[in-house]
Amino acid sequence: MSFRSDFYEYLKADVGLSALVSEKIYPFFVADNTVARPYLTYVFLYNAPYYHMDSIGSVNESMVDRANIQFDIWGDTSKQAIDVEAALRAALSGFSGLMNGGTNVRRFMKQNELDNIEPPSDGSNEPEYRIIVDYQVWYNNT
């Protein structure tokens, strides 16, 4: 398995997230504009290897990947979006260990958070609440 697939399965299996968004977790974007909020989307802003001079098999390993992942959390109310962000934070912030038995996560670290209100996409007068959150993760596949 790859980090991307391990990561997606990890998010879907998280009890706190699934209680709020069910399986409405989407890489890139929501293809169907009838999906009810709350839901979250995510995109990899970058994913690159980090090299150092230690040899393979050393304590540090010679290559670790690092990625920045941006989440967009959408809700009908600010409370919905805030609750989903809190569940995401509980699932990721500070996590280290094996993810779905395939990816060795060194650490997830929250980098940024931005609250936003979007104009209604359905023609109503009700805004859409959006929280944008960036996480950085260091990992290697085992």
Residue 20 pLDDT class (50, 70, 90 cuts): very high
Q: Could you report the per-residue pLDDT of 90-117, keeping only the tens digit for each?
A: 999 989 999 887 889 999 999 999 998 8
pLDDT value at position 21? 97
E strand or H helix at 75 = strand 63-75
Domain that includes residue 20, residue range: 3-133
Q: Report yes or no on 26 lying in a domain.
A: yes
Contact 55, 71 (CB under 8 A): no
Q: Report yes or no on 140 lying in a domain.
A: no
Cα–Cα distance for residue pair 87/131, rounded to 1 Å = 13
pLDDT value at position 73? 97
Q: Report yes or no on 138 lying in a domain.
A: no
pLDDT surpassing 90 at residue 62: no
Cα–Cα distance for residue pair 49/56, rounded to 1 Å = 14
- pTM confidence score: 0.86
| CATH number of the domain encompassing residue 72 | 3.30.2000
- Give the residue with greater pLDDT, 121 vs 21: 21
Q: Report yes or no on 142 lying in a domain.
A: no
Q: What is the CA radius of gyration of the chain?
A: 17
For residue 80, give Cα distances in angstroms to 54, 55, 62, 104, 113: 46, 47, 42, 31, 16
Q: Which amino acid is at 53?
A: M
As for how many domains the chain has, the answer is 1
